[in-house]
Amino acid sequence: MKSIDRILAVGKKVDPLIYRFLPADADKTFQPVLRHQISSGGKRVRAALTVLSCQATGGKTRDALIPAAIVELTHNYSLILDDVIDRGDVRRGLPTVRAQYSDAMAILAAMFYREVLDRLIEASRNPVQVRKVAVSAIKALIDGERLDILMEQSGRTGAYIEKHRFTEVRIDDYLHMIGKKTAALIKAACELGCIASNCPPKMRGSMKSYGWKIGLAFQVIDDYLDIFGEETGKVQGKDIIEHKLGNAVIMYALEAMGEDEQRAFLSLLRKEALSQEDLGEGMRLIQQTDARERTFNMGQRLVSEGIEAVRGLADSWAKKDLTSLAEFIGERLY
Amino acid sequence: MKSIDRILAVGKKVDPLIYRFLPADADKTFQPVLRHQISSGGKRVRAALTVLSCQATGGKTRDALIPAAIVELTHNYSLILDDVIDRGDVRRGLPTVRAQYSDAMAILAAMFYREVLDRLIEASRNPVQVRKVAVSAIKALIDGERLDILMEQSGRTGAYIEKHRFTEVRIDDYLHMIGKKTAALIKAACELGCIASNCPPKMRGSMKSYGWKIGLAFQVIDDYLDIFGEETGKVQGKDIIEHKLGNAVIMYALEAMGEDEQRAFLSLLRKEALSQEDLGEGMRLIQQTDARERTFNMGQRLVSEGIEAVRGLADSWAKKDLTSLAEFIGERLY
């Protein structure tokens, strides 16, 4: 077994726990709807991070399982609703909950997930602390999704969106958005591992810093793949098609372009529907800049900073695994 | 001031509390979205019930305010998402959150409401008890909405809905559905008042029974108005247009019809869109039966049973108000 598979297997340990909590109080005919999102896969990276963070700070695996399930369920809660919001039909190669069961059932399933989360939090050993971290992470997810939407240049209507839509995205806006959309929950995953191990504050600070950095890295690399990564099964230029100004590659590309190219590129992003030709033109405009390299470097730098953050921890298998996991995110092609 | 206005004014006391909790951690530009649902009105019947239940069982108003806010926010949380699910554009004569701010922002606002609920629960005096009651009520709401959808005879597609759609609705199915959709939260409103007053179990039992009965009455009378009540600003025959088999009038009408009329009426409910003629024909078929009278009587009977449930409480203003509120629901045209 490849080392990364062994590490991620740790995260998969939450599945039985989630399947045990999920159907409580649910009607039998609703249970397949509830199971769909969880059973359709996912690498359980966040759950693995909670368990590893607990182990690396002196705790036991079993103490981290409920917190890890909380993180994973939170992630899937937001995915179900993101797919409703974005009208997403396919995720991980399978129909999304909304595609399989309708928007209505997807919304109801997500609401149910939120209540199951509450039960998991109550079942954890430090419900007050766990709750605070989980609720903050969910609030961050909500605002991250909101900002991500407002950075889209087309495809949605309504006075609110038109009024608050970003017309340019600078590095600070971008980091603010991805911090909320992606890094906050990954940081929370690490923090919940520390709550489970009840480690000293300094260690917790290191783990949170690790989570934050690799969380940002995770999204930057996702952005990279959402432009260049046809080999991962993603459509090349996907985030161009989706009108996203909130993508690191696009942000860097626009920064490097002359005024004419900027105007041309933005008008592509603002088109309601892009032709293959438009997409080709968009990719060409990006490839004339150093955006690919800068995004790649940004991702690698964040990974290094994440690894650096845990250097001070006592040596252990778990610490080694945290480093490997960060490197895996850096090299990630999944 | 009419007595009912004085009683309902008690419920409005939660508004400042909700407005104080709502914006915490929310971006300034998101706050109007969050405020919209609350500021667009509502009678605060549920909040009034929590306060009155607390008072009637020996507690103080101030102890009931946070629980009352929890009930009211839960109600509004579900309304925002119901409007997304049902593509509702108008509520209380004003644009819904989704109509005003887009489906995406409505979903995000609802998610945010759920986290504010969590903070309100934590701020209550008995968070563990309050949480249990609130979470059960939300789970009931979710399943009630699911059943309500499955009782619709047209207007939604998807294998899940088609497979589980009700082809007939008997009284037990109907009571099961409205118990979850409407009565569970109204019962919870009364129960939370009792948790706030910390009254003896017997009193709590009476209050829960009161809440359950008037909750059922509330929905039965709503159903009545959704068929006959053009004077309340509702469209006459609204639930026929919305394909609902889960309406008391329709249920009773079908029960009383001969086979031919049943078939004709069901084929109307299953039409994708009804003409004015279809609607007229549907109303005529209903009016040939005793459904109007039976539904009216059912509502009145439930109101009486609710009033009966609190007869044993010590006499107080609050007890009198609970009776008036039940009678108001019985006569309700709002």
Residue B97: its pLDDT value, please?
97
User: Which amino acid is it at B187?
Assistant: K
pLDDT tens across B258-305, in order?
999 999 999 999 999 999 999 999 999 999 999 999 999 999 999 999
Is residue B316 predicted with pLDDT exceeding 60? yes
Nearest CA in chain B to A117: B135
The predicted pLDDT at position B1 comes to 53
The answer to whether the CB atoms of B27 and A146 lie below 8 A apart is: yes
What is the pLDDT averaged over residues B46-62?
97
Asked if the Cβ–Cβ distance from B145 to A108 is below 8 Å, we say yes
- Count of CB atoms within 10 A of residue A276's CB? 8
Cβ(A245)–Cβ(A278) under 8 Å?
A: no
Per-residue pLDDT tens for B74-104? 999 999 999 999 999 999 889 999 999 999 9
| pLDDT of amino acid B232 | 57
pLDDT per residue over B184-226, tens digit each?
A: 999 999 999 999 999 999 999 999 999 999 999 999 999 999 9
Report pLDDT digits (tens) over B142-162: 999 999 999 999 989 888 999
Q: Widest CA span of chain B, in angstroms?
A: 59
CA dist., res. A202 & res. A31, Å (int): 43
What pLDDT does B233 receive?
Answer: 59
Q: Which residues of A touch B80 (CB under 8 A)?
A: none
CB-based contact B139 A29, cutoff 8 Å: no
Query: Confidence band (pLDDT; 50, 70, 90) for B231?
Result: low
Predicted confidence at residue A62, as pLDDT, reads 96
Is the CB of residue B291 less than 8 Å from the CB of residue B256? yes
- Helices B3-12, B45-56: axis angle to 10 degrees equals 90
CB A211 within 8 A of CB A190: yes
Q: Is A31 on the interface with B (CB under 8 A)?
A: no
Instruction: For tokens 């926010």, name the residue.
Output: B73
Q: Where is A319: in which H helix or E strand?
A: helix A317-331
Q: Do A143 and B104 touch (CB under 8 A)?
A: no
| Whole-angstrom distance, CA of residue B268 vs CA of residue B279 | 8
β pairing state of A94-95 and B94-95:
unpaired
Q: Are B105 and A26 a contacting pair at CB < 8 A?
A: no
**B235: contact with A, CB 8 A cutoff:** no
At residue B41, the pLDDT reads 86
Proportion of chain B above pLDDT 70, given as a percent = 98
Going by C-alpha positions, the residue among B181, B179, B113, B172 that lies closest to residue B148 is B181
Cross-chain CB nearest to B101 (options A30, A85, A158): A158
Within chain B, strands assigned E span 90-91, 94-95
Q: Say how many CB pairs under 8 Å bridge A and B.
A: 105
pLDDT band at B333 (very low <50, low <70, confident <90, very high): very low
Give the model confidence (pLDDT) of B5-40 as tens digits.
999 999 999 999 999 999 888 999 999 999 999 999
Which chain B positions have a beta carbon within 8 Å of A25's beta carbon? Answer: 136, 139
Residue B234 has pLDDT above 80, yes or no: no
Residue identified by tokens 């995205």 is A169
Tokens of B248: 């008391």
Q: Does A99 touch chain B (CB under 8 A)?
A: no
CB burial of B256-292 (b: ≥16 within 10 Å; e: otherwise) equals ebeeebbeebbebbebeebeeebbebbeebbeebebb
Closest listed residue to residue B266, CA positions, set B184, B189, B165: B165
Please tell me the predicted confidence (pLDDT) of residue B334. Answer: 42
Contact call for B112 and A156, based on CB within 8 A:
no
Which residue in the block uniquely carries the two structure tokens 């650096």? A308
- Domain residue ranges of chain A, discontinuous segments joined by +: 3-310+322-331
- What ipTM does the predicted assembly reach? 0.96
The pTM of the full predicted model, rounded to 2 decimals, is 0.96
Q: Give residue A333's pLDDT.
A: 46
CATH superfamily, region A3-310+322-331: Farnesyl Diphosphate Synthase (1.10.600.10)
Sign of CA dihedral A91, A95, A181, A21: negative
Cβ neighbours, 10 Å, residue B312: 11
Q: Say whether residue B138 is in contact with chain A using an 8 A CB cutoff.
A: yes
Tens-level pLDDT at each residue, chain A (334 residues): 578 899 999 999 999 999 999 988 899 999 999 999 999 989 999 999 999 999 999 999 999 999 999 999 999 999 999 999 999 999 988 999 999 999 999 999 999 999 999 999 999 999 999 999 999 999 999 999 999 999 999 989 888 999 999 999 999 999 999 999 999 999 999 999 999 999 999 999 999 999 999 999 999 999 999 999 865 556 789 999 999 999 999 999 999 999 999 999 999 999 999 999 999 999 999 999 999 999 999 999 999 999 999 999 999 999 999 999 999 998 874 4
Q: How far apart are CA A192 and CA A270, in angstroms?
A: 40
Residue closest to B114 by CA, chosen among B142, B146, B148, B147 = B142
Asked if A101 is an interface residue toward chain B (Cβ–Cβ < 8 A), one would say yes
